Each structure stands twice: as C-alpha cells, then as structure tokens.
Structure 1
Amino acid sequence: MVEFKSSHPAFDQMKITPTFIEVTILSSMGVFMDGFSLSIFSAALTYLQAYILVRAIYVSLAASAIYIGMFLGSFSMGHLSDRIGRKRMYTYDLAITSLFLILTALSTTFYEFFIFELLAGIGIGADYPLSSSIEAEFSPRRSRGRFLVFNIFMWTIGSIVFYVISIPLIYRFGSTSWRWMYAVGAIVPIIVILARRALPESPYWLVKAGREDEAKKIADDIGKEVGYTDVELPMVEKGSSSYKSVFTGSYLPLIIFASLAWFSYDVSSYGVWNYTPSIFVSVGVSAINSILSTLLEDLPVIVGFVICLILIERVGRKLLQSVGFGLAGVSLLTFALYADHRTMPFIMIFTAFALMHLFHNIGPTNLTYVYPVEIFPTRIRGTAMGIATAASRIGAILGVFAFPLITDSVGMSSGLLFFAIFEFVGFIVTVTLAPETKAKPIS
C-alpha cells in the first residue's frame, strides 16, 4: 500500500516513478532506432558498391541521403512540437521511417535508393527534438543529465543490435543481405509507435499552452505512484515559440554554441561510423570480420559512456565536453601526422577510431545532445533542439560526403586530419560559449 505524504514536491524534484521509467525507455527507443537505421548503410555498403553505388560520388550522395532527411525532419518537426504538443508528434513520427526503410529495401537504382533513404531520415530526424524534450521535461532535476546520457547511449545499443543481426543475414543471403537489413530495420519503428500511444503529454508543455488543469492532473497522477498527494507544477517561461525567438537576446550565443558544437562532433563521428566496415574491408579484412571489428569499436564507446554517466552530475557538462573534444582532436592529429601519407595498417586505423570513440563518449557524444534541451525554455525547446539537430546533420552530411573523397584522393591520414580540425572547433566553441547546467532547473 502506498503511503501518502503531506509535502508538496516540485514536479522536477520528485522521486523516480514508474511513469518516468516508461517515458525514459520509450523516448530512448527513438534514439535506438537512429543507431540501428544509420548503421545499416555502413554494413550494406560493401554489397551496394557492387550493385547500385558503382561510383564514388554515388557512395557519397547515398551516405548523405538519410542525413538530409534528418535535417528536414528535425528542423520542421521540433518547431511543430512546441506549437501543437509533444505527444501528438511523438506517437507517429517513426511511421515515416518504417515505410521508407521498406521501400529502400526494394530499391533497384541509385535514384530510388537516394530518395527513399532521404524520406526515411525525415522520421528519424523528427524524433530527436521530441525524444530529448520529453526526457528532459519528465526527468528529476538532479539526475536529468544521467537520464539524458542514457537516452543518447541507446544509439550505440541500436547500432550494436543491428551489427549482431547483420552477421546471420550476411551468412544466409550474401550479396542480397543489404535488402534484408533494411527490411528488418522497418520493424523496430512500428513496435515503438504502438508502445508510445499510452504516454502522457508533458506537463511543461501543457503549462506553456495555458492548460494548467490538465498538467496538474498528470503531475498528481505521477506523484501518486511514489506517495505524493499534491505536486507543484513547473515554472515555465512565457513568450513566443517562433524560430526568431531562438536567435534573439541571450539565446543567440546559446544556439550558436549548441549548433556549432554538435555540427563539429557529427562531422567526424558519422564520417567514421558510416565507413568503418568498408574501410576495414579495404585493408584486407573479410566482410564478417569487418563487422566483428566494428563491434569491438563499441568497447571504448561503452567505457566512455560509463565515465560520462559517473561524472556528469559531479563535474558538470562543460568540463566533460571540453575534455572529450580536446583529447579526440589530439589523438586524431597524432595518427594523421605520424601515419603513412597514402595507407595505414588495420591496427593503426582501428586504434585511431577507438580512441576517438572513447573521448567522444566521455563528452560530446552525449553532451551535444543534452545541452540544447537544458539551456532553452519549454516554449522554444523543441524548436532549438530541432535547429541544433539540423546543424548536426549538416555536419554529418559533410563528414560522410567528404571522407571517402579525401581518403580516395589523398589518403587516410588526410581524412583523420580533416576530422581533427573539427574536434578543435568543438573544443573552442565549448570553452568560450558553453554554460554549466548541472542541477539547474529547466523552465
């Protein structure tokens, strides 16, 4: 039997409730879907190059397609979530992804593949501002960072699950396994859509919309799960939800910081992830072993995640993101300067990528996702997160488009140097513009 309490806790200072756990799981499943879907291309590329991506420019364009879609989805849908609500968008956004992943599996030409990948990306991009906003708005203040880090870590889990599934598909279907990879990827969004239908609307957004009675009922219902009878609604900043609001006053340097830091991170992160298996194949590793080696690259990812999870509520966001960018830049620069100009052995490439993943996951992998939803108020949170996500997708497009062209023309060491430059850009913008949001309330 629940023991009811007479205190009046603020909504963001309650204990963890079953509803909050459900919100965390279902919001993180959108990020899981991102990791799963975006890893498909990297494993499928070896077979696609022999079928419909027969030119280097086709590879670059095809690799960019899903990120172009994510740019469009995040930029538009994040703003809509501020205007019409989180839940209405949140429940069905991934249906777009499911439909067009199926059509991608059926592609027979480069043009079909490009268009369907782009359209699939719209649904994935839409989920970024939605999942992160809902997670932040339901999280207890003093553990919000850890739960947001867990949320983005599900990208890695989605990627790992995909690579594990891809191995038997490659064994069974060989050169046509890429079609089955995309078809299997279409199943995950449907499961998430069905599970999300029972989630409540965010009390933060309801207060912002002037629907305090609905917000109060949801807050009290959640409070009752841990024994509270009367929960104080969050204080929410009033004002416009327009795009213009994000670029005015004190919010202008914040959106520059959030967008440029995430852009810089995605250039190197997605540039590497998209091509890791095919790069390993190019230096003599078999297709299956390239997948296994790519899975091993997740070990430093997990180590970095654990370090971030332990330290985020102790040392704060700014220090971790600065250290992560700085050390990733130094490690990539070191390999770029001391490697052979044209070729690099497998072990050197593997180690360069592994160190980058370790330092990224100590900081920018997680915190470029955390920062936008913590530094902007409810009225523009989805819009700002959508803009920052869109900027990050431009970085991803640049990384996945430029990397194969650079390595093909001037070598792997030049590709690593290209990525190192953006690591230092991320470091500089974090040191100069990032605020500290540890344990601070969101409005």
Structure 2
Amino acid sequence: MFENRRIDSIPVSPMLLKITALSSMGVFMDGYILTIYSIAYIYMSGYLNPSSNAVITAFMGSSLFIGMLLGGFSMGHLADTLGRKRLYEYDLSLTAVFLILTALSFNVYEFIIFEILAGIGIGADYPISSSIQAEFSPRNTRGRFLIFNIFAWTIGSIVFLLLSIPIIHYTGAYQWRFMYGTAAIIPLIVILSRRTLPESPFWLSHMNMKDKALEVSNRVSSSIGIELNEIPKTESGRSSFRDLFSNRYLKYTVFVSLAWFSYDIASYGVWEYTPSVFFTGSSSIVASVFATILEEIPVFAGFLICIYFIERAGRRDLELIGFGGAAISLFIFEMIYGYVRIDIVFTFLAFATMHLFHNLGPTNITYDYPVEIFPTRIRSTAMGFATSISRIGAILGTIAFPLILYTLNLRYVLIFLIIFELIGFTITFLVAPETKNMELN
C-alpha cells in the first residue's frame, strides 16, 4: 500500500537491521584493535623493544589514533561529495591489509607506520557509517540505533579479550602477531557484505537524484509491506568545510568536537593501559584479562540505561548526567586516595564507576550528536571533523595516562580525568541542543 511518508517515519525493517550490523563494524574494529594493543604491549618488549624509548612507546600506543584522525578528516568530506556507498564498500580494506602487515612487523617503526595506515580505514568508517545509520533509521528510534553502533566498540573489545586467552596459551612466542592477524579477517567479511547495501536516500535526494532516492526508500520499506511516495527533504547547497565554522554552525562544531575530545582524553588512556595496570598488581596476565573483562559489566549497565532513556529523556540530559556523574565519582575516589589501600580493587572500582557514567551518557551521545545536528550536505564532514578532534584527545590521553601514573601516581591521574569530565559537562550545559525525534534535513 502507498504511504504519504518518508523513510525515516516507517517501522524497523530487516534491511535496517542489516545496515545497523554492517555499519557497526568499523567501531567494532576500533574496540577490537585497541584492546589488542592493551594486551599485546605486554609481550612486545621482547621483540620490538618499545620500552627502550618513551617517545617510541607513546607513538606505538597512539599510532592507530593518528591514522583515525587522518581518515576521519579526509574521508568524511569525500562521503558528502562522492556519496556514502562508494567509500563505505572499501574503507575497511585499508585496515585489513595493514593489520596483516602489522602482524608481520620486524621493528617498532614498521609497526607504527602500518598501524597508522590501518587506522585511516577505521577513521574513515566513523563518519560514513554513522551518516548511513542516521539516514536509514526511523527518527523516533534513531538514537537507539546510533547507540548500538558505538556500543559495537565494547563488543569488539570483549570478543578480543575472550579470544586472547587461548591465543596466550597456545600460540607460543608470537602471541601478539597472532592477535593482530585475527583482526585482519573481520574487515574482509564486512567488505563483501556491504556491497549489497544501497546508497543513502538522503544523499541521493540532496544530489537531486529524486527517482533513485524513492527507489532506495521503497527497497527498504517493501520488506515490511509499505510503498512510499515521498523522499527525504534536504537542505540545498554544496558540502564545504567552511560551513562548519559559519555563524550558523560554529558553536555546534565547537560543542561536538570539544565534548568528544574531553570524553576520549578521559577514556582511551584508561582503556589502553588498564590491563597493564592490573598486571602490575597481579601475578598472571590471564588474571589481568579477566579483571579487564569484569570492567565491562558497568559498561553494559550504562549502555542498557542509555538505550532505555535515549528516546525518553533525550540526548542532552543523559550527556550531562554522564559527564557530571563521572566527575563526582572520580572526585570521591581522589578524596579517599590517601586513606585506603591502593591496589587492584581500588583501581577497578574507580575506573568501573567512571565507565558506568560514561556509557549512560557521553560514550554514546558524543557519537550521536554530530550526525543529528548537521544537515545532509555536511553531515559526514562534521562527523569526520569531530572524529579527528576526538582522536587528538585519544592521543593525548594515551600519552598522558602512563606519564602521569608512573612519574607521579594514580591520584594525579584521577585529577587529570576530573578536569576533562568537567570540560565536557560545561560545554554540553552551555551549547547542547535536544535532538530527540528531530527530522534530519
């Protein structure tokens, strides 16, 4: 039957579920690969000798982020000008090729170069996949689908942590090489599967391909017995980086970039070095892996809270609660630091509480905001720019965390984290709009 509505007002379809699964895989790979490094780093010293130079160690830990910065910045804009699908089909091929070469690295310099190049593909996938997800999702449940996209990071992390246990036990002296080798398989499967997906009807409408936009819309809706006769209405104009800094969008560009930067600088250093911190307080690397897996429990709890309230309370309140709650909880742990025994239990509780608040708010919402605030013509450009700025935060976090921890102590790490939680809270309070149930244009 014909319906006088457009694709973002129809119920969930099987095609949307397929798009969601495949759009999540770039973020899945981000979580998978970064968690590899957090475990593999413990084994690398015997082969690549990263600990001999603090600068080299810092570059090894941040090399994937450098690649993501480059990929997000360059490919986001291309997705607005050339189309989502054209890049979406092949961006992760870079990741697959250079992960194989990472596994075969003979020295730290090769490792860093190959990780940067692998990161370009993942960084490119952030703006492309999130735009596709937003543009195919019903507006009354769009937030939930975008949250699932970013939650794929945690799924990727857990999948690797579970897989790492048999790798540690059964692969002998080359554990870290096998770890990176497993990561190269996943993008190849995703690349083949994505070739069957259509171009975004929003992008087609913006490019004045009206018939094609309606055809794609009906391809999605036909699986649930609905035939549409409306296409998405999009804002006219060219895609331009300059628009991000126009009077109309500047405050939102600053908001989405600074909020995500603040979250990443507080989050990624903790994630990347948590197993190493646990390992120093444990006699077994397997025990440190299990402790890291246990830290995923509050992540799941935060995700469930967020997915329940995202279309009820909205985006703004959840992000404020997340940043504010993380700052308060870290402040409490900082205050009692001198009065309790500082061991694996204290470290676990401090970071687990932070993860709970992060995942009911900024972990998910900082990913959500760029694709909902900005129009179709600069949606991927804005998401790519915000992704790049967030990776600068991730780079600084991965450098600052071990530097502060080992030259000072955990108390100063907590203070460092609190500062950026407060920055994220402040910019959200001052600027963040509410985008719940908002029509994309």
For residues 296-345 of structure 1, the C-alpha deviation after alignment (integer angstroms, 9 at most, x for no partner) is: 10000000000000000000000000000011111122222322499821
Query: Deviation at 1:72?
Result: 0.1
Query: Deviation at 1:366?
Result: 0.3
Residue in 1 aligned with 2:242?
A: 244
Residue in 1 aligned with 2:206?
A: 208
Residue in 2 aligned with 1:185?
A: 183
Residue in 2 aligned with 1:346?
A: 344
294-303 or 13-22, which deviates more: 13-22
Residue in 1 aligned with 2:293?
A: 295
Flag the 1:284–1:222 CA change in 2: closer, same or farther, 3 A: closer
**AA paired with 1:25?**
A
**1:343–1:411: 8 Å Cα contact kept in structure 2?**
no
Distance 1:392 1:317 in 2: 19
Residue in 1 aligned with 2:108?
A: 110
Classify the secondary structure of the residue corresponding to 2:436. Answer: coil
Which of 207, 219, 222 is residue 220 of structure 2 equivalent to?
Answer: 222
**2:77–2:384: 8 Å Cα contact kept in structure 1?**
yes
Structure 2 gap ranges (5+): none
Residue in 2 aligned with 1:90?
A: 88
Residue 314, structure 1, aligned to residue 312, structure 2: yes
253-262 or 171-180, which deviates more: 171-180
Residue in 2 aligned with 1:410?
A: 408
Query: Deviation at 1:50?
Result: 3.5
Residue in 2 aligned with 1:170?
A: 168
For residues 38-90 of structure 1, the C-alpha deviation after alignment (integer angstroms, 9 at most, x for no partner) is: 11100101111333212333222110111000000000000000000000000
Residue 24, structure 1, aligned to residue 24, structure 2: no
**1:70–1:390: 8 Å Cα contact kept in structure 2?**
yes
For residues 161-220 of structure 1, the C-alpha deviation after alignment (integer angstroms, 9 at most, x for no partner) is: 011111100011244200100000111110110100000000000011111111111112
332-341 or 420-429, which deviates more: 332-341
Classify the secondary structure of the residue corresponding to 1:36. Answer: helix
Residue 12, structure 1, aligned to residue 8, structure 2: yes
**1:27–1:131: 8 Å Cα contact kept in structure 2?**
yes
Residue in 2 aligned with 1:333?
A: 331
Residue 40, structure 1, aligned to residue 36, structure 2: yes
Flag the 1:57–1:50 CA change in 2: closer, same or farther, 3 A: farther
**2:2–2:229: 8 Å Cα contact kept in structure 1?**
no
297-306 or 281-290, which deviates more: 281-290
Distance 1:51 1:356 in 2: 34
11-20 or 421-430, which deviates more: 11-20
Flag the 1:285–1:379 CA change in 2: closer, same or farther, 3 A: farther
Runs (4+) off by over 6 Å: none
Classify the secondary structure of the residue corresponding to 2:282. Answer: coil
Which of 72, 75, 82 is residue 74 of structure 1 equivalent to?
Answer: 72
For residues 388-408 of structure 1, the C-alpha deviation after alignment (integer angstroms, 9 at most, x for no partner) is: 000100000000011111111
197-206 or 15-24, which deviates more: 15-24
In the superposition, the TM-score normalised over structure 1's length comes to 0.97
Distance 1:343 1:275 in 2: 21
Distance 2:136 2:316 in 1: 23
Query: Deviation at 1:414?
Result: 0.7
**2:282–2:288: 8 Å Cα contact kept in structure 1?**
no
Count of aligned pairs: 439
Distance 2:340 2:44 in 1: 25
Residue in 1 aligned with 2:277?
A: 279
Structure 1 gap ranges (5+): none
Flag the 1:184–1:415 CA change in 2: closer, same or farther, 3 A: same
**2:6–2:217: 8 Å Cα contact kept in structure 1?**
no
Distance 1:199 1:213 in 2: 17
Residue in 2 aligned with 1:386?
A: 384
403-412 or 341-350, which deviates more: 341-350
Residue in 2 aligned with 1:361?
A: 359
Query: Deviation at 1:285?
Result: 4.2
Query: Deviation at 1:110?
Result: 1.2
**AA paired with 1:251?**
Y
Distance 1:182 1:374 in 2: 34
Classify the secondary structure of the residue corresponding to 1:141. Answer: coil
Residue 54, structure 1, aligned to residue 60, structure 2: no
24-33 or 309-318, which deviates more: 24-33
344-353 or 279-288, which deviates more: 279-288
Distance 1:421 1:282 in 2: 26
Flag the 1:225–1:333 CA change in 2: closer, same or farther, 3 A: same
Distance 1:74 1:357 in 2: 25
Distance 1:254 1:127 in 2: 22
Classify the secondary structure of the residue corresponding to 1:142. Answer: coil
Classify the secondary structure of the residue corresponding to 1:314. Answer: coil
**AA paired with 1:288?**
V
Residue in 2 aligned with 1:371?
A: 369
In the superposition, the TM-score normalised over structure 2's length comes to 0.97
**AA paired with 1:235?**
K
